[in-house]
Chains A and B, each alone.
Chain A
Amino acid sequence: MLRIHYADYEALRTHGEETYPNECCGVLLGKNIADEGNGAEAVNHVQQIVRAGNTRTDSAHNRYNIAPQELVKIQRQARGLGLDIVGFYHSHPDHPAQWSKTDFAEAHWLGCSYVITSVEQGKAALTNSFLLSGTTEEDKTFEDEPIQIDIAPNVAEAAAQTQKGQA
């Protein structure tokens, strides 16, 4: 399961609207709460999101890539905050919020969450999360995972408004 604050959830969706018609991408920092065999599923708990630049300027409308140099910096930043990289997000401009063959082939962070937002005509539509499970490149799979959005009491009302707008 992916657990994320409402503000971060909205921010990653907004990022996709801002970069439309190109894909946006970013990194989810937080903590992985492992499945401890007590029946509770593993949780990637997001504490902060970091926007990244899409290096695929040649084909930014249907490809994304985060420069490894930028990832090194983000990983360093995470370490400084006592957090880990627990996932990534990107957008699908005018495509469903479903992983593509390319997304799967190029996903290598086992145990991390890959969040995809479909952006239709410039508006963020669906957001889905997929857990890259498995232990090796050979047996990896993307699993649908639920997203739990934490809403602080003071923004609950605003959230209700936005949700109405999206329906």
Chain B
Amino acid sequence: MNIHIPTPLRAYTGGLETVSVAGTTVSSVFQQLTVQYPELKPHLFTPEGKLRSFVNVYLNDDDIRYLPNKEETAANDSDELTIIPSIAGGTSCRL
């Protein structure tokens, strides 16, 4: 299936916006992705292996965090995975 890579992480996919990886679940696709592009791993996962909190992953139009089976959701070749870091901020001086 195709995985869309956000601009900052393309440094680790040889500049590619779209990479194609095999897998039957979201987690197996991720597993394969980090085998194919090992430098991506620390940018996506914490040392404990959890997806970094600011990294959003969408299976087609759904945030995988809100899918009933989360990372274990089945994935087909025709599905699309999009990795998208969050965008937020504020002038809040009371941090």
**From DSSP, what is the main secondary structure of chain A's interface residues?**
mixed
Q: Which residue of B lies closest to A61 (CB)?
A: B91
**Among the interface residues A23, A59, A109, A111, which one has the most CB atoms of the partner chain B within 10 A?**
A109
A124 within 8 A of B: no
Q: Which residue of B lies closest to A73 (CB)?
A: B61
A105 within 8 A of B: yes
| Neighbour of A68 across the interface among B52, B56, B89, CB < 8 A | B56
Chain A nearest CB: distance from B2 CB in Å?
11
Chain B nearest CB: distance from A78 CB in Å?
9
Binding site for A on B (CB under 8 A): 4, 6-8, 11, 17-18, 42-43, 52, 54-56, 58, 61, 63, 82, 84-93, 95
18 more A-B contacts (CB under 8 A) besides A56-B88, A63-B89, A76-B82? A59-B92, A62-B92, A63-B90, A64-B88, A64-B89, A65-B88, A66-B88, A68-B63, A71-B56, A71-B87, A75-B6, A86-B7, A100-B93, A100-B95, A106-B86, A108-B86, A109-B6, A110-B8
